[in-house]
Structure 1
């Protein structure tokens, strides 16, 4: 999706922020999830499609690259002892970004280039398979402790094929003036972006007058609800206090302070979202409460409101409705604002509501039936969306896990297996040959438990076409029997797909995989059932993982080798490194895979510990952690194994690694109580060892 378009009425940055928040909530849930639990899949097809549509608009590459370039700008200003330029607005288009300043700034440091005295450009570097332009071709080395020079950049909407970001600090006040319904929707969209966007991570956000559907999707801890009067008192006091600090320090202002790396407690801007009350819902606390002191630029506080102005405030920015268009002043540009309707907001709130439910997930490998070859032309297929075909999660075989206790108790592994201790000569990084089940299939192999790869295909397709064909093949591996409608919804969410788009991709994937020894293509031709399938000789590491884990858990004595073989198929997080704008359909599958991997790793680690095999336990925990780096239950297994091996220093390092990972996800969070108890034990053991 081009970055200068709106998706579901939202800017690409809002879509990116919502996906980032969804990812954070899923990781928190995976960290808290206990063996015997899983993350609930989307409850409706509409919710599942919604995530796919957001992913198509994902601009995470743009956000990351733009932040990096702006960090470079701050560092340059710090080194050269100059203030930050007074940035008003940024336009991001497929060709790159354009920055607009309030004063002359002719000297543009790399990676920027001066277009004129008040305009800089930033060239894009576009991946061939992405509409995300990723500005910043020549950004330098990563800065160890970067400073965000403009931490209140928010997208207003789009114009002339570009996304428009405004610097709220430069505006001080942004007043939205239009019909009540339209103005409210614009305010709601900006609120969601401010509460989820990486560009606004340090913003202190207060919200007055927005409904729960708008607040629910926001990142925890980034926003608080308030009454309008209290919110206005807060930003007025904030502006007054920061002004006093600058005066006492003899400092010119915020742009100088950030560049000089001083008065850093003043850098985080406070933003008040003040929604005008709905007709008939006015209370005493919702009456006009415009602050006595207007919000001045770069004084630590900003206001976005739909309340009508008094005409007395000079310098504030306005987004005004003019018949069928909207105009942003003072830049003086027409813009199509982003909007968020309450019905869409409710669906977004449902999407990011990540629920942990009972029931370990270990799907059976989906049944593969040879597709018919009645026709050589994909065009002959029907577009009937009612054809059956999703088999990946519709038929779950949970007997293997539900019949075997998988708990967190210190001795629960005894009921799973009683394997003999592993050979002491074996390295903890070694695992059994990952080809336990591969001998039964001679065709291409699909790898999903890590970076997505296709092994054994004809390697003459261009890289860009391979990526798209790889996604199609991965989809069919997990959705055998998919109909054309299901394929279209997965690979082109929210887009009406023609045969001229779908069929060439299927044909390219078919040509890339080639034919089986029986002469049939590995991407089977459509038969009478009008279903897309892969040839039975095509294998998949996820299917093998399930078969090995099921066999190992059911085997009792001697099952450890199969569990270890299953874990040895894991190369990282499932679907690691895929294009963020693609594979939206696969995220529920990835969460199921992560849950299953952690469950199996925990089961093997506990069983090995009960049998005195600390080396196997450490290997199992480490393998599971590659799929979910902050799976706390696996860290506890690894710490127990380190203690069993007498390596208390390693146990301490593991605790520090876990705390660091939790801090990166949630700076205000820490290890849970069970792990904390192990921390006390580790500290005591380390202290005793040092004393002796």
Structure 2
């Protein structure tokens, strides 16, 4: 379905993840966000094909090269590159000057290419962020017969012209713009689309893309951009890329060529159909967008199969992005009882007048160093909370201004890329009794699902998804992990056909039916039978019978919902059940890299874990008989284990450390949330900014 490479797949997957993260951060506690009932085939295939590590290696290598090369204000000194090539274990770049000696960290390779030295020491990610990307116009153009991705530096050429079917030309332009829109090195690129991509400026979480209705509008915009660059010399290094899928009028093509010829050192590139533009760009690279076989890319010296994103896949991707951009809906069912946030941090330290005399003493601040025995015993009860202690810096950690996030790495607390969750269990997918693959913001409430999976069989296997997937009786080695994934799929998506199961288990390379049958047999043997001798994985009696598990198979998510939806309406009296529910959470739902089919469930679980963690932290921080700051820290740690990008939980963390009088802990929480936002390239929410200002002022 998709003629796309790993970097485009990573770009689309990253855009969806970031958009969903932002959607989750915008919602109020308890609110429900929109979720597609089923992961689309395009998203599933792209998620399976995504390989961001290749882009990361190339990005670090190029920034390291720029860091080690004396650079003038105009960028002189950094080698200009024509192209790059990313293999499974190798990174190559091709310099514009083929006679130039390699610059570290690159060493000589074959045919004038430079190869990344396997032993080279590269900048770490934090240091690399401060080095401007030397080749922001690099983008995947296709792949070699060996599977290596070939990237072309569009900023070094005036035009790339495309021949072939207009639909295929649009598909090539679409793949280019989506990758450029999310590329880690293309932050300074200005991309203008004509004839396609009208919705992308609003859907993508970056602001690099603009859409023009007519080529003439783009010509006027380019003229104004060149005038701006003349008046603001600091912007002359920023590439301007015009991607036009519609045929250019001959006069417009001539005017574009004339303007680009006068652009001087400002990198301007046009990607357009060759039919009318070719006479005006005689030196342009020419590729046939309709060929599905290798063709010569002269500037790279390789035969490549051109990259396209088919229109059907593009529609599925934009549909998913639109769903992730929808606003949250009001809470439903028991989730209406999730408490809001205190109006100010002072409410964490000042109770109602009748409670002031009974307020428990605040615990002592944490000791100097994380991991210190004194630090581990500082909290009430002597309990240790690794997710918070690991983030604690040395005594006197400076409080960073909220507008200047730190680049300091804090243990394992890197922000997650999980997408946001909803309070509704996703609708059944294709092949189920009530198929519903359409996005929905108002699926049935989880309250109706809370009793599913209940069993009178205490020995029934349990599927645990509130962390890395674990299944009772299934080994963690050999085929065990895949058997556990299969059991989880059968639990959450019963009644699917063999073909659907095979695709769900590996969207990039679907299982063969014989593989599915072998894994089903292995799962049946692993789970065993109930006391009556009935297998927990029933055998099918005909090819039309559904694949399913016994109704007695248990799941920690079902138990979580039962506890929470019973406890939330009880307010603080429900804290024991809420804390028991949080004790089931072992990390990010489904682990760090779930199969694409699980994405809607991961969103739901992540959001609801955050809701419960926020509820417990709020009740345990407020003055009164329920105040227990150690329990509040446990809740915050659990919430951050599930979603390390949740600003709501960071605000809860700030409030509880403020209530404890723990200045160092407050500094740690603020530093960490600033680091998370820097890594996500997002601004702090207004509520977080205000809370930081309030707590910082009162802590002086």
CA distance in 1, matches of 2:536, 2:359: 42
C-alpha change, 1:144 and 1:594, in structure 2 (3 Å) is: closer
Check the 8 A contact 2:40/2:316 in 1, yes or no.
Answer: no
Deviation at residue 39 of structure 1 after TM alignment? 2.4
Deviation at residue 50 of structure 1 after TM alignment? 2.7
Deviation at residue 310 of structure 1 after TM alignment? 5.7
CA distance in 2, matches of 1:632, 1:114: 47
C-alpha change, 1:681 and 1:86, in structure 2 (3 Å) is: closer
C-alpha change, 1:285 and 1:84, in structure 2 (3 Å) is: closer
Cα deviation per residue 1:279-321 (whole Å; 9 max; x = unaligned)?
Answer: xxx7998985334343889754333233633645464323246
**TM value normalised by structure 2:** 0.72
Residue of structure 2 equivalent to 1:223: 209
Check the 8 A contact 1:228/1:274 in 2, yes or no.
Answer: no
Cα deviation per residue 1:365-415 (whole Å; 9 max; x = unaligned)?
Answer: xxxxxxxxxxxxxxxxxxxxxxxxxxxxxxxxx74435x45444569999x
Q: 2:136 aligns with which of 151, 158, 162?
A: 151
Deviation at residue 453 of structure 1 after TM alignment? 3.8
C-alpha change, 1:451 and 1:422, in structure 2 (3 Å) is: farther
CA distance in 2, matches of 1:205, 1:359: 37
Residue of structure 2 equivalent to 1:271: 241
Residue of structure 2 equivalent to 1:252: none
CA distance in 2, matches of 1:271, 1:323: 24
- 1:319 alignment partner, SS class: strand
C-alpha change, 1:589 and 1:322, in structure 2 (3 Å) is: closer
C-alpha change, 1:299 and 1:452, in structure 2 (3 Å) is: farther
CA distance in 2, matches of 1:429, 1:410: 30
Residue of structure 1 equivalent to 2:439: none
C-alpha change, 1:293 and 1:53, in structure 2 (3 Å) is: closer
Residue of structure 2 equivalent to 1:599: 611
Q: 2:583 aligns with which of 563, 568, 571?
A: 568
CA distance in 1, matches of 2:281, 2:247: 21
Map 1:141-540 → 2, pairs under 5 A: 142=124, 144-146=126-128, 147=131, 148-162=133-147, 163-226=149-212, 227-234=217-224, 236-237=226-227, 267-277=237-247, 288-294=255-261, 299-306=266-273, 308-309=276-277, 311=279, 313=281, 315-320=283-288, 327-331=296-300, 333-353=302-322, 354=324, 355-358=326-329, 360=331, 399-402=333-336, 404=337, 406-408=339-341, 425-426=380-381, 429=384, 441-442=458-459, 445-454=462-471, 456-458=473-475, 461-462=477-478, 465-493=479-507, 498-511=512-525, 522-526=536-540, 530-534=545-549, 539-540=554-555
In terms of mean alpha carbon deviation, does 443-452 or 144-153 score higher? Answer: 443-452
Residue of structure 2 equivalent to 1:678: 691
Residue of structure 2 equivalent to 1:381: none
Deviation at residue 518 of structure 1 after TM alignment? 6.2
C-alpha change, 1:211 and 1:30, in structure 2 (3 Å) is: closer
CA distance in 1, matches of 2:511, 2:536: 24
Deviation at residue 31 of structure 1 after TM alignment? 1.0
Deviation at residue 564 of structure 1 after TM alignment? 0.9
- 2:22 alignment partner, SS class: helix
Higher relative contact order (CA 8 A, sep 6+): 2
C-alpha change, 1:179 and 1:456, in structure 2 (3 Å) is: closer
Map 1:651-690 → 2, pairs under 5 A: 651-667=666-682, 669-672=683-686, 674-687=687-700
Cα deviation per residue 1:246-271 (whole Å; 9 max; x = unaligned)?
Answer: xxxxxxxxxxxxxxxxx8x6654332
Check the 8 A contact 1:483/1:531 in 2, yes or no.
Answer: yes
Check the 8 A contact 1:103/1:118 in 2, yes or no.
Answer: no
**TM value normalised by structure 1:** 0.72
When the two structures are aligned, how many residues end up with a matched partner?
588
Cα deviation per residue 1:538-590 (whole Å; 9 max; x = unaligned)?
Answer: 54332332222233335557421121121122232223322xxx610111101
CA distance in 2, matches of 1:636, 1:95: 42
Q: 2:566 aligns with which of 527, 533, 551?
A: 551
Residue of structure 2 equivalent to 1:365: none
